[in-house]
Structure 1
Amino acid sequence: MNVAHLNQLTEQQATERLLQCCSSSAWVSALVQARPFLDKNDLVAKADLAWQNLTEADYLAAFAGHPQIGDLATLRAKYANTQALASDEQSAVRAASEQVIASLAQANAQYLEKFGFIFIVCATGKTAEQMLALLQQRLVNDKATELRNAAAEQRKIFHLRLEKLS
């Protein structure tokens, strides 16, 4: 991450770059306004503070910026603007069996129906089987618990993406 470069971008350019990390416009706006950042630690601290101060609607906007786990067609098409930062996040799903992919699709549909938003997990380093197990474990939660879980996972994701910013 090049914090000095992020500090020098125009407001529009910084907005575009940060939207690649998280699609919550409230989060992005807070970070753009928080510039200049002293260093990487300052950026991360301000990103976390902005994240903590969001509403449920802001979290849902961030979640909407992700494809469902296992939906590789959506990952390629709808989220092409985050490709540089997110391309390896679901790479393990590409190697999964058809049975696991089908199970992911079914569990994702149940999750979406129950909670009203897609399953969010920091997929980096996880196999498709591990993500399926996590999804099934989290299906038993209530909505408030799952909103907190998804928000915590989204935080992990934007941390990884901030690290990749150049």
Structure 2
Amino acid sequence: MPQQQDAMSLLNALPPQRARAELLRCCTCNRWADEVLRHMPFSSESQARNTLDACWAAMGPQEWLEAFSAHPRIGAGGGDHKKPSGWEAEEQKGAATAGQQVLQGLREWNRKYDDKFGFVFLICATGKSADEMLAALRARYHHHASTEMAVAAEEHRKITQIRFTKLLAGLQDGQVSRL
């Protein structure tokens, strides 16, 4: 029986175009994906995770906005904005079971936030309830624009790390995205 390869070996063995596509599932920023790819192959998962973070830290507002734009609004529904699917739906499952009042609050505050800052509200939603997300949205609305951009970038970094975990698990299970 052949020995199963570890996820890092599988990631390192992907052709560059496929590896880039997989990285873009974690963070939809072209420059970031290209930078991470430039550092491959990785000797360990720890090195890979440090590289993801270092490459994200080297990005600026233009790249952050590119990545932010791929995210659906928390609690999006109807014609409000694109609905979450795949990993996003799993990440936002705390909003999926929210009552109508909380969902309405999320829709209203998302619009206010977007009008003020010009980008979608980002929060690492994994494990958070809709009430927690709404409270964070309301609190962060009062930030200065530059502060909020930095907070959103940090939340995106957390999301990217969680998605990288999912990517590695998917590679281990033989599941990769289709180009």
Does the pair score TM above 0.5? yes
For 2:106 and 2:142, the matched residues in 1 are separated by: 16
Q: Which amino acid aligns with 2:90?
A: D
After superposition, residues 52-91 of structure 1 pair within 5 angstroms as 52-72=57-77, 74-76=82-84, 80=85, 83=86, 85-91=87-93
After superposition, residues 2-151 of structure 1 pair within 5 angstroms as 2-72=7-77, 74-76=82-84, 80=85, 83=86, 85-151=87-153
Deviation at 1:164, TM superposition (A): 1.0
3-state DSSP of counterpart to 1:20? helix
* Residue 162 (structure 1) aligns with: 164
3-state DSSP of counterpart to 1:51? helix
3-state DSSP of counterpart to 2:91? coil
Normalized per residue, the structure richer in helix is 1
Structure 1 residue runs without a partner (length 5+): none
For the 8 Å contact 1:107–1:136, the answer to whether it is kept is yes
1:85-124 superposed Cα distances (whole Å, 9 cap, x missing partner): 3331001111101111010000000100101111000000
Q: Which amino acid aligns with 1:12?
A: Q
Going from structure 1 to structure 2, the CA distance change for 1:124 and 1:72 (only over 3 Å counts) comes to: farther
Moved over 6 A (4+): none
Structure 2 residue runs without a partner (length 5+): 1-5, 172-179
Q: Percent identity?
A: 35
For 2:139 and 2:43, the matched residues in 1 are separated by: 40
1:43-62 superposed Cα distances (whole Å, 9 cap, x missing partner): 00110110010021000011
For 2:61 and 2:8, the matched residues in 1 are separated by: 29
Root-mean-square deviation (Å): 1.3
1:11-48 superposed Cα distances (whole Å, 9 cap, x missing partner): 11011101110001111111111100011100001101
For the 8 Å contact 1:21–1:158, the answer to whether it is kept is yes
Bigger mean CA offset, 117-126 vs 65-74: 65-74
**Larger Rg over CA atoms:** 2
